[in-house]
Amino acid sequence: MAEQPASVAVSTVIFGIQDHGGTAKVHLPLVRRVREPHLGRWALPGGPLRPDESLRDAARRNLADTTGLDAAHLEQLYTFGAVDRGAPDRVVSIVYWALVRTEVAATTRDDPNVAWFPVDALPPLAFDHEEIVGWAVRRLKNKLGYTQISHALLPEEFTLGQLREVHEAILGRRLDPANFRRRAEASGTLTPTGAHQAGARNRPPALYRSTVREELLT
Amino acid sequence: MAEQPASVAVSTVIFGIQDHGGTAKVHLPLVRRVREPHLGRWALPGGPLRPDESLRDAARRNLADTTGLDAAHLEQLYTFGAVDRGAPDRVVSIVYWALVRTEVAATTRDDPNVAWFPVDALPPLAFDHEEIVGWAVRRLKNKLGYTQISHALLPEEFTLGQLREVHEAILGRRLDPANFRRRAEASGTLTPTGAHQAGARNRPPALYRSTVREELLT
DNA sequence: ACAAAAGTGTTACCCTTACACCCATGC
DNA sequence: GCATGGGTGTAAGGGTAACACTTTTGT
């Protein structure tokens, strides 16, 4: 333990898909601050790094502490360490971003100081957290293009229509179903379960299971 | 100032192109450690973050202190903070990576404890610095593909042949000169100066100047 | 029958790659 | 003239985007 010019914190931007007026939208959970500074404002889950935990473990702990959830994907985003970030003492924040599956996100532990917001309609945030969320959203959009990261937002089994909805929610535009299907199939990361999803008032779509390895998403 | 479980350091991976047996190769400067632990080993330039400097400023200071050089490109790479990274106390290292221009790299201040090494023939490094260099090299290769970052390794004016040599050095394979030229021209980031480089025993190549904005390289 | 989404087929277009070929200079 | 890299032309192949069309369900 040494006297330091800056303390180390870890925060996490958590993304999940939720229904918002009939269409899937990207949401994220925020925590209402119960201390100064920025008391009462919404902020990203986070807190000081503990001496015996890795950065990644700290991020996972943020997730568990605030939502009780488990991440399907977790990855370092960026480190923010400007001299004045809105706190009285200097804090260097290592920020992670996480993806949780839809059905998991729905089971968020009840807490009056935790709530999910659509990323395109966030309340004013504490510190420099709006900038941080901006970085995370950009990264999410980018990674969508060259990895199969979107699978981590869906349940174990899903239809190509659901997968496409996720992409449309993140990119903010409609995608051609035919071309999307071919792309998805060509990725070689989907295996049909053989089952079909009944119930809709149209042709029952095939169910798929993702076969991507977490290690390949870097 | 608070009692902390971890101290904050900033290190920088600096890349420059140098001639190595007739062909251009990617090099980086290392510093010989003059203190325990890992006394005598080569390490990345770096040191503790000062209270009144930004992370980026600290990285720039690493560069100036060890080589006396100025970076044409400087960007955050990743933050390494495992519990045991080879130092007695816990250190969280925010690592930056930098590109310096060839003619600048040649003017490195003389210092027996600083030397440039080809990235494909590094000595054993201190701490987890080999892993860090690996990350930086990967990032450099990637960014080469979708930005004009390579311009930052060359002088203000350069030929397409030189630019191609840089790419070949980084990718480790030969590129088709014809296709490389078209790609470079199509990027819209090069303006011919009108001058040609005389002296070679072949047709004098046209000189170009880069018009990329540093902000667009993210 | 009809609507609505699943799923297949087809075509135009662009970008990349490979490679043939000409140009200008030093020796 | 000849070697050497600079610079232009061209054609094949692969991937993407646009869109027509068929299939299968619920109502």
> Which residue from B30, B39, B44 is spatially nearest to B93, judged by alpha carbons?
B44
Whether nucleic acid strand C comes within 7 Å of the CB of B173, the answer is: no
Which is more confident, A69 or B44? B44
pLDDT higher than 90, residue A60: yes
d(CA A143, CA A141): 6
- pLDDT tens, A195-208? 999 998 999 999 99
> Which residue from A65, A83, A91 is spatially nearest to A9, judged by alpha carbons?
A91
Closest CB to A49 among B5, B54, B55: B5
List, as one string, the DSSP characters of A52-121: TS-HHHHHHHHHHHHH----SEEEEEEEE--S-SSSSS-EEEEEEEEE--HHHHTTPPP-TTEEEEETTS
CB A69 within 8 A of CB A107: yes
Partner residues linked to B42 by β-bridges = B32, B125
Nucleotides on strand D lying under 7 Å from protein C-beta? 3-10, 16-20, 23-27
pLDDT higher than 50, residue B1: no
How far out from the chain centre does Cα A68 lie? 14
Q: Regarding the domain delimited by B7-146, which CATH topology (the fold level of the hierarchy) does it fall under?
A: Nucleoside Triphosphate Pyrophosphohydrolase (3.90.79)
**Would you place residue A4 in the very low, low, confident or very high pLDDT band (cuts 50, 70, 90)?**
low
Whether nucleic acid strand C comes within 7 Å of the CB of A22, the answer is: no
A3 shares contact with chain B (CB less than 8 Å): yes
> Which residue from B36, B41, B46, B53 is spatially nearest to B14, judged by alpha carbons?
B46
> Which residue from B68, B140, B146 is spatially nearest to B98, judged by alpha carbons?
B140
Burial label, A13 (beta-carbon count in 10 A; 0-12, 13-18, 19+) = buried
Whether nucleic acid strand C comes within 7 Å of the CB of A200, the answer is: yes
Burial A39-51 (b: 16+ CB within 10 A, else e): eebbbbbbeebee
- pLDDT tens, B174-212? 999 999 999 999 999 999 999 999 998 999 999 999 999
Which CATH number is correct for B156-217, 1.10.10.10, 1.20.1250.20, 3.30.70.3270, 3.40.50.300?
A: 1.10.10.10
**Among positive and negative, which fits the CA dihedral A142, A143, A144, A150?**
negative
- pLDDT for residue A153: 97
- pLDDT tens, A74-95? 999 999 999 999 999 999 999 9
- Nearest residue to D9 via alpha carbon and C1': B178
**Would you place residue A109 in the very low, low, confident or very high pLDDT band (cuts 50, 70, 90)?**
confident
User: How many percent of chain B have pLDDT more than 90?
Assistant: 88
Burial label, A203 (beta-carbon count in 10 A; 0-12, 13-18, 19+) = exposed
Whether nucleic acid strand C comes within 7 Å of the CB of B200, the answer is: yes
Q: HSE of B211 in the Cβ direction (CA atoms, 13 Å)?
A: 10
Whether nucleic acid strand C comes within 7 Å of the CB of A178, the answer is: yes
Token code pair at residue A108: 């968020």
Test A89 with B1 for CB contact under 8 angstroms. Answer: yes
**Å separating the CA of residue A158 from the C1' of nucleotide C8:** 21
> Which residue from B163, B167, B157, B162 is spatially nearest to B211, judged by alpha carbons?
B157
- pLDDT tens, B97-108? 999 999 777 777
Alpha helical stretches, state H, chain B: 55-67, 102-105, 129-146, 160-171, 177-186
**Would you place residue B136 in the very low, low, confident or very high pLDDT band (cuts 50, 70, 90)?**
very high
CB B159 within 8 A of CB B197: yes
Query: How confident is the model over A144-173, as a mean pLDDT?
Result: 97
Query: How confident is the model over A13-34, as a mean pLDDT?
Result: 95
Element housing A137 (H / E) = helix A129-146
Query: How confident is the model over B67-92, as a mean pLDDT?
Result: 95
- pLDDT for residue B3: 53
Token code pair at residue B214: 């540093």
> Which residue from A98, A19, A161, A4 is spatially nearest to B90, judged by alpha carbons?
A4
> Who among residues 135-174 of A has its Cβ near strand C, under 7 Å?
159-161
- The nucleotide whose C1' lies nearest the CA of B198 is C25
- Nearest residue to D20 via alpha carbon and C1': A178
A54 chain-B contacts, CB cut-off 8 A: 81-83
Whether nucleic acid strand C comes within 7 Å of the CB of B204, the answer is: yes
User: How many percent of chain B have pLDDT more than 70?
Assistant: 97
Chain mean pLDDT for chain B: 94
Closest CB to B3 among A1, A90, A92: A1
Token code pair at residue A180: 């999307």
Start-end of CATH 3.90.79.10 domains in chain A: 7-146
B4 chain-A contacts, CB cut-off 8 A: 1-4, 6-8
Three-state secondary structure call for residue B118:
strand
Test B51 with A76 for CB contact under 8 angstroms. Answer: no
Closest CB to B76 among A6, A78, A89: A78
> Which residue from A12, A13, A9, A3 is spatially nearest to A92, judged by alpha carbons?
A9
- pLDDT for residue B174: 97
> Which residue from A190, A192, A194, A140 is spatially nearest to A169, judged by alpha carbons?
A140
Q: Regarding the domain delimited by A155-217, which CATH topology (the fold level of the hierarchy) does it fall under?
A: Arc Repressor Mutant, subunit A (1.10.10)
> Who among residues 175-204 of B has its Cβ near strand D, under 7 Å?
177-179, 181, 196, 200-204
Start-end of CATH 1.10.10.10 domains in chain A: 155-217
**Å separating the CA of residue B15 from the C1' of nucleotide C19:** 34
pLDDT higher than 60, residue B2: no
Three-state secondary structure call for residue B178:
helix
Closest CB to B79 among A1, A5, A94: A94
Looking at the complex, report in whole angstroms how far the Cα of residue A100 sits from the nearest Cα belonging to chain B: 23
B54 shares contact with chain A (CB less than 8 Å): yes
Start-end of CATH 1.10.10.10 domains in chain B: 156-217
Residue in chain B nearest A89 by alpha carbon: B1
Residue in chain A nearest B135 by alpha carbon: A218
